[in-house]
Chain A
Amino acid sequence: MSTVLEVSKLSVTLEKGKYEKNILDNIDFSVHQGKCLGILGESGSGKSMTAKAILGLLPREFVVSGKAMYQGKDLLGQSKETLRQMRGKEITMVLQNPMTCFDPLYRVGYQLAETMRVHTDWSKEEIRSRLVQILQDMKIRDGGEVLEKYPHQLSGGMLQRIMIGLAMALKPTLLIADEPTTAIDAIIQYSVIQEFQRIKEEHGTAMIFISHDLGAISCVADDVLVLNQGKVADMGSFHEILHHAKDPYTKLLIEKRAAVMQKYRTALKKGGTAYA
């Protein structure tokens, strides 16, 4: 089980003229092949920043320091061109709001084909057949028809699955998912989470799953990194975080959510037969 990504002392500072703000402070973590690292934190904790910093997607005002070793190379020191070639092919990202990830003016199939055209030299027909195959893998029926549709004609859940399919299309080594389940409905959320589990098991892709939802992380992540205001609050396996969290912030978070789940369980059982 090799280490795919090793991040050490990652720091991000926002510098605008004389104004300076520390966004991330000395973050360390590593991601292994076939395993998923969950990054848990609330908005403003810096979890999205972490992913964007590693991939070189932050604007100039953000100064990034530290190391992010990917297959022997430090991502933070790479040129824009090298990073661009890696993104989409070796390291891919699934973003939060699937509705806003697609250009509303072009058909979905055209946009998906664009990514493939950039990174491979496959022919048009081959790209199309691969896309249909990807959609099938994501359990989307009538892949051919879906490809002809515009983003606004598809639901959030479907778009998100298409995004995941696209992210997996080029068989990346590392998949980063930034709050992929937040903007979609509960029932679809569940199937999207199952997709991630399947990807992890079948393809052995290393994953980083960023979320503020304990439920989603519990299903997908093997190790969890808890971020609070740009600093590492806790790190360990999910079980460790759940029961033996060291940081008071983490403990508070777990306690609160546990109280809600407890009430839910009580409600289920009160009805007589506990719902399986």
Chain B
Amino acid sequence: MLELRNIDVSFRSEKQESIFRAKRIQVLHGISLEVPEGLCLGMLGESGSGKSTTGRVLCGLLKPDKGQVLLNGKDVYHTKEGRKALREYISIVFQDYTTSANPRFQVKDIIAEGLQMYRRRTGKRFDISPEVNSLLEQVGLDKSFLTRYPHELSGGQLQRVCIARAIGCHTPMIVLDEAISSLDAHTQVQIMDLLKELKVRYGLTYIFITHDLTAITYLCDRVLFLYQGQVVEECCVSEIAEVKNEYAQKLLSAIIDFEEGT
């Protein structure tokens, strides 16, 4: 289980107000959350809420000023074994697919990176190529994509490749940092269906970061509302109508149901 306890993160401010001390802007205030295995946790927040920053902290990419990130009890940022354990536990799919893959890598190399890490980690011996083919098939792309470069793929296709890469790492948990936000409306749904399928097949745990509440209700079990760097509400997706927090309620009322009144 992955846990965040009282995480505080601040960044140096762009404005230099005094000559020697750099002003810091606090982005996260005492974030605490628990992610048990098998859960799909949705993190909902607007731009500036700190959700991407939280994603980075979870992945081991950003060390918090205060607080602990614990993986099965081991501190990830302060112990070597914790850090190692996290690297083997988590992988990530980003929002901006245009920079998510090395533009000089072909699709087969992109996916192979994840598999190579898995192979090195477990010491298992297997051929990379057939595994790459199998992963590609699972995300709904055919063999002709193997030799293509990222700029030759559409957004949806490239995001599928990134998902294949993340699955290839064989990590129990995947962080999806606004993974579908840059895609078109119906592609978003197709990718969400794919994610659902993969979760069942591999028994994965997801942390799904987004600003779209309807995506969370479609895919996730629990939802966490983030506002200005704090967790303002957390509940099961089925209990969403009973949120008490004012901001959460405002979000709910902003959802436009296009089938209403027709």
A contact set with B: CB distance below 8 Å: 42-44, 156, 185-187, 189-190, 193, 212-219, 238-239, 242-243, 252-253, 256-261, 263-275
Interface size band for B: 35 or more
Do A42 and B185 form a contact, CB below 8 Å, given A242-B258, A272-B242?
yes
Decide: A256 and B241 in contact? CB cutoff 8 A. Answer: no
Give the distance to chain B from A204, nearest Cβ to Cβ, in Å. Answer: 23
Give the chain A neighbours of B255 by CB distance below 8 A.
Answer: 186, 215, 264
Decide: B259 and A186 in contact? CB cutoff 8 A. Answer: no
Alpha-carbon distance between A263 and B215 when the two chains are bound, in angstroms: 9
Give the distance to chain B from A102, nearest Cβ to Cβ, in Å. Answer: 17
Identity of the chain B residue whose Cβ is nearest the Cβ of A190 in the assembled complex:
B254
Do A218 and B256 form a contact, CB below 8 Å, given A185-B47, A253-B185, A264-B214?
yes
Give the dominant DSSP class at A's interface.
helix
Give the chain A neighbours of B213 by CB distance below 8 A.
Answer: 186, 264
Which single member of B250, B257, B262 contacts A187 (CB below 8 Å)?
Answer: B250
Give the chain A neighbours of B186 by CB distance below 8 A.
Answer: 42, 252-253, 256-257
Interface presence of B141 (CB below 8 A)? no
Which single member of A185, A212, A216, A275 contacts B46 (CB below 8 Å)?
Answer: A185
Do A261 and B259 form a contact, CB below 8 Å, given A185-B47, A185-B211, A271-B238?
yes
Alpha-carbon distance between A265 and B218 when the two chains are bound, in angstroms: 10
Decide: A156 and B47 in contact? CB cutoff 8 A. Answer: yes
Q: Which of B43-95 contact A (CB under 8 A)?
A: 46-47
Give the chain A neighbours of B190 by CB distance below 8 A.
Answer: 256
Give the chain B neighbours of A266 by CB distance below 8 A.
Answer: 217
Decide: A267 and B46 in contact? CB cutoff 8 A. Answer: no
Selected A-B contacts with CB under 8 Å, 17 pairs: A42-B187, A43-B184, A44-B154, A185-B46, A186-B251, A187-B46, A187-B251, A189-B254, A190-B256, A215-B258, A217-B258, A218-B256, A218-B259, A256-B189, A260-B214, A264-B257, A270-B238
Decide: A268 and B185 in contact? CB cutoff 8 A. Answer: no
Identity of the chain B residue whose Cβ is nearest the Cβ of A42 in the assembled complex:
B184
B contact set with A: CB distance below 8 Å: 46-47, 154-155, 184-187, 189-190, 192, 211-215, 217-218, 237-242, 250-259, 262
Identity of the chain A residue whose Cβ is nearest the Cβ of B237 in the assembled complex:
A267
Identity of the chain B residue whose Cβ is nearest the Cβ of A253 in the assembled complex:
B186
Give the chain B neighbours of A268 by CB distance below 8 A.
Answer: 240-241, 252
Alpha-carbon distance between A44 and B154 when the two chains are bound, in angstroms: 10
Decide: B185 and A219 in contact? CB cutoff 8 A. Answer: no
Decide: A213 and B237 in contact? CB cutoff 8 A. Answer: no
Decide: B214 and A270 in contact? CB cutoff 8 A. Answer: no
Give the chain B neighbours of A44 by CB distance below 8 A.
Answer: 154
Give the chain A neighbours of B250 by CB distance below 8 A.
Answer: 187
Give the distance to chain A from B211, nearest Cβ to Cβ, in Å. Answer: 6
Decide: A257 and B240 in contact? CB cutoff 8 A. Answer: no
Do A260 and B258 form a contact, CB below 8 Å, given A185-B47, A267-B240, A274-B241?
no
The listed residue with most A CB atoms (<10 A of its CB), out of B185, B192, B242, is B185
Identity of the chain A residue whose Cβ is nearest the Cβ of B256 in the assembled complex:
A215
Give the chain B neighbours of A260 by CB distance below 8 A.
Answer: 189, 192, 214-215, 217-218
Decide: B262 and A270 in contact? CB cutoff 8 A. Answer: no
Alpha-carbon distance between A136 and B213 when the two chains are bound, in angstroms: 31
Decide: B47 and A267 in contact? CB cutoff 8 A. Answer: no
